[in-house]
């Protein structure tokens, strides 16, 4: 057993309102620079949709991630042989137009315009060439556009859905969508690290954050291809690749990353996970249907004395182990079994987990007779000649999951490598907690029934309340359990504190002159 | 005239080589952030294929070919003693020469005409591309007009270059060469001299070490076992990422 610690995250999709505050917080801090304008280390996508960059999930196009070869895995579009032979021209790399051409508006034209007959306009100009341009794409161009032929219907996850299922999904009455916020997954088996010919990308041992050393990156661009989530970006101005750094300067100082801190819906949770690094290769090369179970198995119980002992042997601080024991991520992922990784089939062992959305509300449309009701309407009331009812009653709660407006298979393609049972169980748990709370607070469901549904999904009343608390009422410190990075350790990462002891300020960037010879 | 060729074929090569070494190392040491291939495929990904691939394979083979003749002139002369093998040798060299020439022309035109690329092009990019283009053009001219280059390079120029290496320059052979060949030699040293000041430095950091590296890289800021061991002073382990 080789226990390491990893900063891991859970996104509770039921709570995401798609406001893009996370994206903007990230952009303001990290990517509001020349060459990085088009980068969104954090972005929010509407699903079903093609995402950013367009169709990023389609590895037939981009060749990202790993693929299984016998009992081993190989990088799909990079690696030693493919990477070095394609080093001059990388055939599977997305270009700027696959993301979008960054733009701004000539706002000054509004102010400096002479008095004219027409309203002055601020023309869009390219942030690359500075010349006027027609905007064709943006980072969230498909925002809220479910059902559209260009975006929603081109979603890669619809691949193995029958044409009838797809049609049903996009009927006007049934149309639905949800939001998928994405950042770098800080994988345990990162394809970007493995693909980098220069060895510029590395995973930090202490907290598992994946970083690109800007001084070593030589713009061979293989990470852009290799990352199946397309979360490694090429800065066209500096000629270096960049990616989400999980706000490590903030984490080291005990703050939550900017995207998480600013989250309006409070959907994000962050905490430490202890995992067994010895198993990484075996699990990444497991069969597709066992991938997720095995990945969950390698995440260790932080209360297990054996795990604690092994962690200490590896130099993991007591404070980190304590943080792991309080980790909301461990609760959601392991203890309660509510969260799943995104696209586990890419075999990078992503460490960002999603609680799949139950929304849009489980409901069925039933025919009812409205005539009695309509008679009561006054003369000036608007009369609706409909006779259907949007039925949200919980009479047949498990049945409505099967008839969910977003098919279970679609969710499974996103979150469980195609395994519908896995997603269904998690959605049933969400439903069971809702019924349990309805019994407690509204009371129109019998206790017997509430107990029965919890039993069906293997939860107790106490756990259900705990999940409810962490979902709906949790305070900042419950959602973000950041291990004390120890200010003294943060400084040690930058310099050997003994060397600058006695010097003022922050020390010298370059060596000072030495006395003597 | 004599002092001019002394300068061009004795002093200039030494100056060029010195500037190359000092400049390249200084640039790496002082600001390795500036070492990058500065790929522009991200801004224009289609035309670039037809330029960059023929150019790189062409220039690589040509470079290795020149290097081989310089290092092992005897072997080359022996190989060239059979006319068929000589023509094969020259044919292959010329093919890659043309490939490099066409490739670079495509790249040059692309760089000048594409609006987006103009934003990532500086003066030195144009200078080095022009010098390279001229150099390859001269090379092709030499190959066609002064046959057979691989043989007389091995017989006459390789000894000249070796005399420079041995710090005992003898330029009799070079001085007798036609102007085109002289220009080609001066061009070669000019490119060497310009390398530290241009994007060409990227070939100095070609990632061969990738071949024998483990795929995954995990970096600990400290030696995780020693740093928390109360028996050792932590000063003995130093941060690795700086």
Q: How far is B206 from chain A (nearest CA, A)?
A: 8
Model confidence pLDDT, tens digit, residues B54-67: 999 999 999 999 99
Tens digit of pLDDT at every position of chain B (242 positions):
588 889 999 999 999 999 999 999 999 988 888 899 999 999 999 999 999 999 999 999 999 999 999 999 999 999 989 999 999 999 999 999 999 999 999 999 999 999 999 999 999 999 999 999 999 999 999 999 998 888 999 999 999 999 999 999 999 888 889 999 999 999 999 999 999 999 999 999 999 999 999 999 998 766 655 555 566 655 555 555 44
Tokens standing for A141? Answer: 């161009």
Q: Is A165:A407 a contact under the CB 8 Å cutoff?
A: yes
Contact B221 A206 (CB under 8 A): yes
Contact A189 B207 (CB under 8 A): no
Model confidence pLDDT, tens digit, residues A93-130: 999 999 999 999 999 999 999 999 999 999 999 999 99
Domains and CATH numbers, chain B: 2-208 (1.20.950.20)
**What gap in Å lies between CA B227 and CA B235, rounded to an integer?**
9
Q: How far is A19 from chain B (nearest CA, A)?
A: 30
pLDDT band at A147 (very low <50, low <70, confident <90, very high): confident
Please provide residue A136's backbone torsions phi and psi, each rounded to the nearest 5 degrees.
-110, -20
What pLDDT is recorded for position A205? 86
Instruction: Residue A85: list chain B partners with CB under 8 A.
Output: none
What pLDDT is recorded for position B223? 61
Contact B119 A129 (CB under 8 A): yes
H or E element: which one contains A211? strand A210-212
Model confidence pLDDT, tens digit, residues A349-380: 999 999 999 866 655 566 777 777 777 777 78
Q: Which residue of A has its CA nearest to B229?
A: A315
Torsion sign over Cα A415, A418, A422, A428: positive
Nearest to B189 by CA among B164, B210, B166, B214: B164
Query: Phi-psi category of A241—alpha, beta or left, where left has phi over 0 and alpha has psi -120 to 50?
Result: beta
pLDDT band at A442 (very low <50, low <70, confident <90, very high): confident
- Give the HSE-up count for residue A146: Cα atoms under 13 Å, Cβ half-sphere: 21
What pLDDT is recorded for position A397? 65
Give DSSP secondary structure letters for A111-177: HHPPS-SSPP---EEETTT-SB------TTTTTT-TT-TTTGGG-GGGTTS-HHHHHHHTSTTT---
What pLDDT is recorded for position A361? 61
**What gap in Å lies between CA A471 and CA A482, rounded to an integer?**
18
CB pairs under 8 A between A and B: 145
**What gap in Å lies between CA B36 and CA B32, rounded to an integer?**
9
Q: Is the pLDDT of residue A284 over 70?
A: yes
Q: Is the pLDDT of residue A460 over 90?
A: yes
Which residues are CB-contacts of A38 (< 8 A; sequence separation ≥ 6)?
Answer: A96, A99, A100, A101, A102, A139, A233
pLDDT average, residue stretch A330-341: 96
Q: DSSP secondary-structure letter at A94?
A: -
Instruction: Residue A2: list chain B partners with CB under 8 A.
Output: none
Measured between alpha carbons, how far is residue A174 from residues A98, A278, A366 in Å?
A: 30, 47, 13
Among A202, A280, A314, whose Cβ lies nearest the Cβ of B217?
A: A202
Contact A317 B228 (CB under 8 A): yes
pLDDT top residue among A168 and A365: A168
Query: Would you tell me how many other CB atoms lie within 10 Å of the CB of residue B178?
Result: 11
What pLDDT is recorded for position B232? 60
Here the ipTM equals 0.89
pLDDT top residue among A368 and A480: A480
Q: Is the pLDDT of residue A495 over 80?
A: no
**What gap in Å lies between CA A337 and CA A333, rounded to an integer?**
5
Q: Picking from A181-190, A299-308, A480-489, A506-515, which range would have the lowest pLDDT averaged per residue?
A: A506-515
Q: Is A20:A140 a contact under the CB 8 Å cutoff?
A: yes
pLDDT average, residue stretch A206-217: 92
pLDDT average, residue stretch A460-478: 95
**What gap in Å lies between CA A407 and CA A169, rounded to an integer?**
8
Q: Is the pLDDT of residue A501 over 80?
A: no
What pLDDT is recorded for position B242? 41
**What gap in Å lies between CA A353 and CA A339, rounded to an integer?**
6
Q: Which residue of B has its CA nearest to A214?
A: B33
What pLDDT is recorded for position A507? 56
Q: Is A389 helix (H, G, I), strand (E, B) or coil?
A: strand
Query: Over chain A, what is the mean pLDDT?
Result: 89
Instruction: Residue A221: list chain B partners with CB under 8 A.
Output: 39, 41-42
Q: Picking from A154-158, A314-318, B167-171, which range would have the lowest pLDDT averaged per residue?
A: A314-318
pLDDT top residue among A271 and A506: A271
Q: Which residue of B has its CA nearest to A86?
A: B53
pTM of the model: 0.89
Q: Which residue of B has its CA nearest to A73?
A: B215
- Angle between the N-to-C axes of helices B47-71 and B123-145, in degrees from 0 to 180, rounded to the nearest 10: 60
According to DSSP, the residues that pair with A44 across neighbouring strands are A181
Q: Where are the beta strands (DSSP E) in chain B?
A: 218-219
pLDDT band at A44 (very low <50, low <70, confident <90, very high): very high
């Amino acid at each position: 057993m080789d226990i390491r610690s990893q900063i891991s995250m859970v996104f509770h999709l039921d709570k995401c309102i798609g406001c893009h505050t996370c994206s903007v917080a990230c952009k303001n801090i990290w990517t509001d620079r020349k060459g990085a304008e088009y980068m969104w280390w954090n972005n929010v996508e509407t699903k079903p949709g093609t995402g950013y960059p367009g169709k990023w999930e389609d590895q037939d196009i981009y060749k990202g991630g790993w693929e299984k070869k016998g009992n081993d895995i190989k990088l799909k579009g990079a690696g030693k042989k493919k990477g070095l032979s394609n080093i001059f021209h990388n055939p599977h790399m997305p270009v700027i137009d696959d993301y979008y051409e960054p733009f701004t508006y000539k706002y000054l034209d509004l102010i400096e315009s002479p008095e004219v007959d027409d309203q002055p306009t601020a023309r869009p100009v390219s942030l690359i060439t500075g010349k006027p341009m027609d905007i064709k794409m943006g980072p969230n161009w498909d925002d809220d556009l479910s059902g559209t032929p260009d975006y929603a219907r081109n979603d890669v996850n619809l691949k193995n859905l029958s044409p009838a299922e797809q049609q049903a999904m996009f009927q006007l009455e049934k149309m639905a969508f949800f939001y998928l916020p994405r950042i770098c997954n800080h994988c345990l088996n990162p394809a970007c690290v493995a693909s980098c010919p220069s060895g510029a990308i590395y995973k930090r041992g202490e907290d598992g954050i994946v970083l690109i050393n800007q001084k070593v990156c030589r713009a061979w661009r293989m990470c852009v291809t290799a990352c199946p989530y397309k979360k490694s970006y090429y800065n066209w101005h500096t000629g270096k690749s960049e990616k989400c750094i999980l706000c490590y300067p903030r984490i080291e100082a005990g703050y939550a990353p900017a995207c998480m801190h600013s989250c309006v819906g409070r959907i994000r949770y962050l905490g430490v996970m202890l995992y067994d690094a010895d198993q990484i290769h075996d699990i990444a090369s497991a069969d597709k249907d066992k991938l997720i179970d095995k990945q969950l198995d390698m995440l260790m119980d932080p209360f297990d004395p054996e795990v604690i002992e092994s962690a200490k042997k590896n130099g993991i601080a007591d404070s980190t182990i304590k943080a792991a024991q309080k980790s909301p991520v461990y609760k959601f992922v392991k203890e309660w079994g509510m969260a799943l990784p995104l696209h586990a089939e890419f075999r990078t062992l992503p460490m960002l987990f999603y609680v799949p959305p139950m929304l849009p509300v489980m409901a069925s449309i039933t025919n009812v007779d409205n005539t009695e009701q309509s008679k009561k309407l006054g003369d000036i009331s608007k009369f609706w000649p409909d006779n259907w009812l949007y039925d949200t009653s919980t009479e047949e709660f498990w049945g409505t999951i099967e008839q969910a407006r977003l098919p279970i298979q679609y969710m499974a393609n996103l979150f469980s490598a195609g395994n519908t049972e896995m997603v269904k169980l998690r959605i049933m748990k969400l439903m069971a907690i809702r019924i349990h709370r309805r019994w407690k607070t509204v009371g129109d469901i019998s206790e017997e029934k509430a107990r029965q549904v919890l039993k069906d999904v293997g939860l107790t009343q106490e756990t259900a309340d705990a999940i409810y608390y962490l979902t709906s009422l949790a305070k900042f410190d419950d959602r973000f359990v950041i291990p004390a990075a120890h200010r003294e350790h943060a400084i040690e990462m930058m310099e050997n504190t003994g060397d600058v002891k006695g010097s003022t300020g922050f020390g010298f960037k370059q060596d000072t002159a030495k006395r003597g010879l | 005239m004599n002092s001019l060729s002394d300068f061009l074929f004795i002093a200039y090569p030494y100056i060029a080589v010195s500037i190359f070494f000092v400049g390249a190392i200084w640039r790496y040491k002082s600001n390795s952030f500036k070492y990058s291939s500065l790929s522009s495929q991200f801004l224009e990904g289609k035309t670039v294929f037809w330029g960059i691939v023929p150019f790189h394979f062409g220039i690589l083979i040509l470079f290795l070919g020149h290097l081989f003749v310089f290092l092992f002139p005897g072997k080359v002369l022996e190989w060239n003693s059979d006319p068929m093998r000589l023509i094969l040798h020259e044919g292959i060299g010329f093919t890659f020469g043309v490939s490099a020439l066409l490739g670079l022309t495509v790249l040059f035109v692309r760089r000048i005409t594409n609006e987006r690329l103009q934003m990532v092009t500086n003066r030195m990019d144009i200078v080095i591309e022009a010098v390279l283009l001229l150099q390859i053009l001269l090379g092709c001219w030499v190959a066609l007009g002064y046959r057979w280059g691989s043989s007389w390079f091995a017989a006459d120029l390789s000894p000249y270059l070796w005399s420079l290496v041995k710090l005992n320059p003898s330029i009799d052979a070079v001085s007798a060469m036609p102007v085109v060949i002289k220009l080609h030699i001066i061009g070669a040293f000019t490119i060497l001299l310009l390398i530290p000041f241009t994007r060409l430095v990227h070939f100095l950091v070609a990632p061969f070490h990738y071949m024998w590296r483990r795929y995954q890289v995990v970096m600990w800021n400290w030696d995780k076992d020693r740093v928390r061991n109360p028996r050792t002073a932590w000063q003995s382990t130093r941060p690795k990422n700086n």
